[in-house]
Amino acid sequence: MLEMTGLDPLALPDPLLCSAEPVLLRGLLADWPAVQLARQAKAPGLAHYLRGFYRDATVGAWSGPVEIQGRFFYDQAFTGFNFKSERLKLDQVLDTLLAQLEDPQAPALYVGSTTVDTCLPGFREANDLKLGDRQPLMSLWLGNRSRIAAHYDLPDNLACVVAGRRRFTLFAPEQIDNLYVGPLDFTPAGQAISLVDFAKPDFEQFPKFAQALQAAQVAELGPGDAIFIPSMWWHHVEALEPFNLLVNYWWRQSPEQMDAPVNALMLALMTLRDLPPAQRRAWAKLFDHYVFAADAETAAHIPAHARRVLAAPLDEDSARMLRARLLKNLNR
Rounded mean pLDDT, 287-299? 95
pLDDT tens sequence across 103-136: 999 999 999 999 999 999 999 999 999 999 999 9
Q: Could you tell me whether strands 137-143 and 108-115 are parallel, antiparallel, or unpaired per DSSP bridges?
A: antiparallel
**CA-to-CA distance for 281 and 78, rounded, in angstroms?**
34
Given a contact cutoff of 8 angstroms between Cβ atoms, the answer to whether 163 and 127 are in contact is no
Output the pLDDT for position 318. 85
Rounded mean pLDDT, 227-253? 97
Given a contact cutoff of 8 angstroms between Cβ atoms, the answer to whether 129 and 16 are in contact is no
Residue 9 Cα distances to 129, 158, 248, angstroms: 5, 12, 14
Residue 118 Cα distances to 45, 58, 143, 198, 223, angstroms: 22, 9, 18, 33, 23
Task: Walk me through the domains of the chain, giving residue ranges and CATH numbers.
Answer: 2-251 (2.60.120.10), 261-330 (no CATH)
Range from 1-5, 77-81, 82-86, 328-332 carrying the lowest mean pLDDT: 328-332
**DSSP string covering 61-129, please?**
EEEE-GGGTTEE-B-TTSSSBSSEEEEEEHHHHHHHHHHTTT-TTPPEEEEEEEEHHHHSTTHHHHS--
**CA-to-CA distance for 3 and 26, rounded, in angstroms?**
7
pLDDT tens sequence across 268-291: 999 999 999 999 999 999 999 999
Rounded to two decimals, the pTM is 0.94
